[in-house]
Amino acid sequence: MNVINLKKAFTLTEVIISIVIVSIIAMFAIPSYTKANKKTHERDILMQLSSIHAANEIYRAQSQNRSYADFSGDETNINTNLSLNILPNGVIYNYTYVAVGTSGSYTVTATWDTIEITLIETAFDPLHTNPCCSSGVCLIAVACSG
């Protein structure tokens, strides 16, 4: 009586070729993923810094003495003092207020991995006004002779 062996299996060569193909695909995919992940964090940091800046401008507009929020600290202090909701995502935020006259200035630094982005907002200096503006009217750059 003849017994036919119907077991199917991959040969060692087929397995090795499959591993090589998957390795080549991973070789291209992993750096692309890393780069996309880094860009995503950079964009997130920029959006959060834009939110901090906008919230600070609203704070300044609503304050009686037209100053920026006067505090120093991390994202918890930023959320509390500026009524924001910055979510913890591995980024370290550091806000520092410096008193300059009656309005002051602030610096926010966001750090993640090797990325560090700093936002610096200085106080308005009435001695350095826009040369293209006079009596509340600002000319376009082409018409400005200052």
Per-residue pLDDT reduced to its tens digit, 102-130: 567 788 888 888 888 888 877 655 555 55
Pick from 95, 123, 97, 122: nearest CA to 110? 95
Residue ranges of domains in the chain: 12-138
Query: Is residue 30 pLDDT above 60, yes or no?
Result: yes
Rounded alpha-carbon distances, angstroms, from residue 7 to 4, 11, 12, 18, 24: 9, 12, 15, 20, 30
pTM over 0.85: no
